[in-house]
Structure 1
Amino acid sequence: MHNFLANNHDELVDRCIDKVAKRPERNATEGQLRNGIPMFLGQLTRTLEAEQDNGSQAGVAISGASGGDGTALSEMGVSAAAHGSTLLTLGYTVDQVVHDYGDLCQAITDLAVERDAPFSVDEFRTLNRCLDNAIADAVTAFTAQRDVSIAEQNSADQIEELGFLMHELRNSLSVAIMAVTALEVGGLTVGGATGNVLKRGHAAMAILIENSLAEVRSKGNSSDASELFSLADFVGEAAESARLDANTRGCPFQVSPVESDLAIAGNRGLLLAALANLLHNAFKFTLPHSLVTLEAYAKGQEVLIEVRDHCGGLPTGNAEKMFTPFTQRGEDKTGLGLGLTIARQSVMSEGGSLTVMNTPNVGCTFIITLPRRKWNNV
């Protein structure tokens, strides 16, 4: 058999490649296809030759004993394990790992029948042993690497989710602290506008905690909190909290009037948190004592909410990078780099978009775009 395999090496490889090409979703390049199975074919040929010349034990050093070796991989096992890991990185499934070796076995059998090449029982046993060991080692490496990848991804997802929760809780706590400070310094009553900001900060924290507990209990099944509300009221509510941040940082803050008949729809809490994140970012990065503006208006069938700062602009190509989790800009590293990521995800979940327009040497304009609705309670 080893002479048959050596003499028909290229023909067998081509047949395997042809079989692979006919399977759906198997998009390996020809170079990749010529590494895994062809290497196994060469090792199989050397195993058969070694066993013919020096006895059955001579081939074990190359291909491993029957049933595999629990202490160390054979030469064939090492190559098969590498092949299995490679298939995982290419996005294949465990059944495709098995099919790769099955294709070669089928190709050998078919060609042997066509060429009328007789093989001994011992040679077939060696072929089956090599296939068994190679498949086992390839699948083991494939599944082990896949498990590691899944565990790493789950860990990354959990870290990101926890970061999102902590970021939003900190924002709400920050608003509440600023409101308390304003009440103390100004000698204001809790029943006034600043007191309402304090109450909303506490309410936001309570909602975040309750939603997180509900998500744990229900595995992510949450109720639809969508509602229709006035754009003017929404902007006014965001501006109330933002003024505390503006006063703390000494930044002038300008809010343009909003048409009273405009409305938007969605989860008000999510959208309010998204806008609050944009405003907080603007006050954080705008140059000292420079203007931050908030404007909301209709454009066709859409409503645009714009937050403009005077941060001096961004380096070329950095605009979209700001929406990547844990990415921070500027010298201030007190945050987690999650605010813009959370804001974009919140807006997108409500059917809108969040983009940024960079004006070099001037500043940034963050734009929330949502479907336009009509407010009838005017």
Structure 2
Amino acid sequence: MMHDFLSNNRDDLIERCRVKVAHRPARGATVEQLQNGVPLFLDQLIQTLRIEQTVEPMDSRKISGPSSGEPSFSAIGMSAAQHGRQLLELGFSVDQVVHDYGDLCQAITDLAYERDAPFQIDEFRTLNRCLDNAIADAVTEFSYQRDSASTDKHVEEMNERLGSLAHELRNFLQTATLAFTAAKTGNLSLSGATGSVLERSLDGLRDLIDHSLTDVRLSAESPKPAQLFSLTEFIGEIKRAAELAARAHGCVFTVSHVDADLAVCANRDLLFSALGNLLQNAFKFTHLHTEVTLDAYAVAGRILIDVKDHCGGLSATDVESMFEPFRQNGVDRTGLGLGLSIARRSVQASDGILSVRDIPDTGCVFTISLPRHAMVLQ
């Protein structure tokens, strides 16, 4: 009888399957991780074969499921589905799911040939039915979970993109509001520096809205090419836009002298967005009446732009996780936690590097590192 043969050689069959698994790439699962696979299936197959030798052979369908291929809540089907989920979590592919059960079929056939074990045709039919149902349910669950995970990832990416858009829109609106309030309170002319800040903020709002309306088309296009521009003028523009925000947050904002010969070759809009986000972050978390400094200088072949605050310092966990989207490490939970994530992506788009270092019990310094260029003399 096949069930006796399988029972007597259970450990040998499992070991043969384990050897086959070990010789395939990307199959690092342990026996414990795959407990719903070959070992459990083999026990269910033995039980099915035994029941078919009784006076109520159709009771075996509760374990194996029908041969029609119709959905059922059989024991083999449920354990195979769980096995399919495990294989997906371990990074297996769908063909490896099929191979997992094919290994057992091959091991049974090989061992039966070696031991010259005679089996009945009906027993082979039962073996094939159990294998078919197990493979079908494992693959079905594997595919369902994979597609579900893909959908969840898509939703997460969409939420991040929408959150990024909202974050940038709010930044521009906040700067525009501050500029308008300053002009109104001080009865200032909009033709001056405050008017320039307001104009740029409104232009930024317009551009972001335009981009959101054509998001699908823009995602397929090449990024805006880099341009060479003066670091001095760039930092000056950033300074004018940031001074109002610093004043609103009750902190001192200091910008050091910048060498007029230095230039940056980058996507100016993205770099402006990145540095703006870093400053907004500094103003938000620096302690009241403390200083935020902006320094831009050259070291060897790199241009470094530092934003230093007095937030009190960072923990090791904060340093590792603060660039993740939707991460909010401080007490102030206003906003979406996207500013630093946006800043890093924007800097990377210009072949730059954004890093942070902790100044214990004092604050932190965010540094943008970019390739060094020089202004071309006309």
> TM-score range, shorter-chain basis?
over 0.9
Q: Secondary structure at the match of 2:214?
A: helix
2:51 equivalent in structure 1: 50
Deviations 1:213-272 (A, max 9, x none): 333235443433311111111111111100111222232211101111111111111111
Q: What is the distance in 1 between the residues matched to 2:332 and 2:56?
A: 72
1:74 equivalent in structure 2: 74
Q: Which residues in structure 2 correspond to 1:148-167 (within 5 Å)?
A: 148-167=148-167
Q: What is the distance in 1 between the residues matched to 2:357 and 2:159?
A: 30
The one-letter amino acid paired with 2:285 is F
Q: Secondary structure at the match of 1:243?
A: helix
Matched, 1:32 2:16: no
Change (3 A) 1:218 1:279: closer
Q: Which moved more, 1:342-351 or 1:315-324?
A: 315-324
Q: Is the contact made by 1:215 and 1:222 (CA closer than 8 Å) also made in structure 2? A: no
RMSD: 1.6
Q: Which residues in structure 2 correspond to 1:252-267 (within 5 Å)?
A: 252-267=252-267
- Name the TM-score, length of structure 2 as normaliser: 0.95
Q: How far is the alpha carbon of 1:366 from its aligned partner?
A: 1.0
Q: Is the contact made by 2:311 and 2:362 (CA closer than 8 Å) also made in structure 1? A: yes
The percent identity for this pair of structures is 55
1:292 equivalent in structure 2: 292
Name structure 1 gaps, 5 residues minimum. Answer: none
Q: Is the contact made by 2:294 and 2:305 (CA closer than 8 Å) also made in structure 1? A: yes
Q: Which moved more, 1:217-226 or 1:204-213?
A: 217-226
Off by >3 Å, runs of 4+ in structure 1 = none
Q: Is the contact made by 2:36 and 2:82 (CA closer than 8 Å) also made in structure 1? A: no
Q: What is the distance in 2 between the residues matched to 1:223 and 1:349?
A: 9
Aligned residue pair count: 377
Q: What is the distance in 2 between the residues matched to 1:130 and 1:315?
A: 55
Name structure 2 gaps, 5 residues minimum. Answer: none
1:10 equivalent in structure 2: 11
The one-letter amino acid paired with 1:95 is D
Change (3 A) 1:316 1:129: closer
Matched, 1:62 2:53: no
Q: What is the distance in 2 between the residues matched to 1:245 and 1:261?
A: 28
1:317 equivalent in structure 2: 317
Q: Is the contact made by 2:263 and 2:375 (CA closer than 8 Å) also made in structure 1? A: yes
- Name the TM-score, length of structure 1 as normaliser: 0.95
2:198 equivalent in structure 1: 198
Change (3 A) 1:24 1:56: same
Q: Is the contact made by 2:293 and 2:307 (CA closer than 8 Å) also made in structure 1? A: yes
Q: Secondary structure at the match of 1:147?
A: helix
Q: How far is the alpha carbon of 1:303 from its aligned partner?
A: 0.8
Q: Secondary structure at the match of 1:53?
A: coil
Q: How far is the alpha carbon of 1:118 from its aligned partner?
A: 1.6
1:352 equivalent in structure 2: 352
